[in-house]
Amino acid sequence: MDSLMILLEEFNHKDINKGLKWFSPPQHWSHDSESAAFMIRTDKQTDFWQKTHYGFEADNGHFFYYDVNEDFRLTTKVHSKPKNRYDQAGLMVRFSKDTWVKTSVEYIPGGKSKLGAVVTKQGYSDWSSQAFSQENFSLYYRITKKENNFYVEYSVDGDVWTQIRMTHLPKATYVQAGIYACSPQGEGYEAAFDFIKIEKVHDQTTVYE
C-alpha cells in the first residue's frame, strides 16, 4: 500500500481489514474473495433520515465503515439490483446520528430513480437529486473531505467524474467513512461493492478532475 493510501479493501482475500466495522449490521451479508465482492442484503424498513418531511426519523441503515482522522477521498463501485421503492446503496460519511452525508441512487419503480446526496446537519436532513433512468446498474461514487468541506461525485467508468453536491460540515476529531445500503419501504435488496478505497488528501489534490 502506498504512502497516500489510508485503506484499500478490494475483498479479494479471505480476511477483511479488521479496521472496518459495522453500524447496524444486516442479518445477511457475504464476502466472496474469489469474485472479489462484498454483498449486503437489506433488512426490513432500514434507512438514514432525520426529521425533514413529516418529521420522519430513522437511523438503522446498514453502514460498514472505517474511522478516519484526516482529510481523505473515499471511493467505491456499487452494483445495484433494486426491488423496493427507495432502495439505495452507496457511500456515507458520518459524524453522529444528527450529522452525516450519504450518496446513492434511490430507486423509484415505474419511474425515474433519483441520483443524489442527503446532507444532515443539526438533526435535519436535506436531499438534492437528479433523474436517473436505469434500474439495474453499476456506478462509482466518491466523497472528498478537505478540512470541513465535503465534495460528492459519481462516475459511470471511474475516470470521468460529475459533481452531485458540495457541503460544509462541523469540525470533528474523526469521522466514520464507508459504504452503506438500506430499504426504507421493503427488504431483501442486494447491493454488491467491488472495493472501499480511502486516500489521503493534500493541498494540491484536485477535487474535480
What tens digit of pLDDT does each residue of 185-195 get? 999 999 999 99
What pLDDT score does 2 carry?
Answer: 65
Question: Could you report the per-residue pLDDT of 97-140, keeping only the tens digit for each?
Answer: 999 999 999 999 989 999 999 999 999 999 999 999 887 889 99
pLDDT, residue 79, reads: 96
Reply yes or no on whether the pLDDT at 203 is more than 70.
no
pTM of the full structure: 0.95
Which residues lie below 8 Å from residue 209, measured CB to CB, with a gap of 6+? 161
Segment holding 68, helix H or strand E: strand 62-68
d(Cα 170, Cα 31) in Å, to the nearest integer?
34
- Sign, CA torsion 32/14/193/84: positive
Domain ranges of the chain: 5-200
**109-120 residues labelled b (16+ CB within 10 A) or e (exposed):** eeeebbbbbbbb
**Class at the top of the CATH hierarchy for domain 5-200:** mainly beta
Which pLDDT tens digit goes with each residue over 57-101? Answer: 999 999 999 999 999 999 999 999 999 999 999 999 999 999 999
Please check the confidence at residue 207 and state whether its pLDDT lies above 70. no
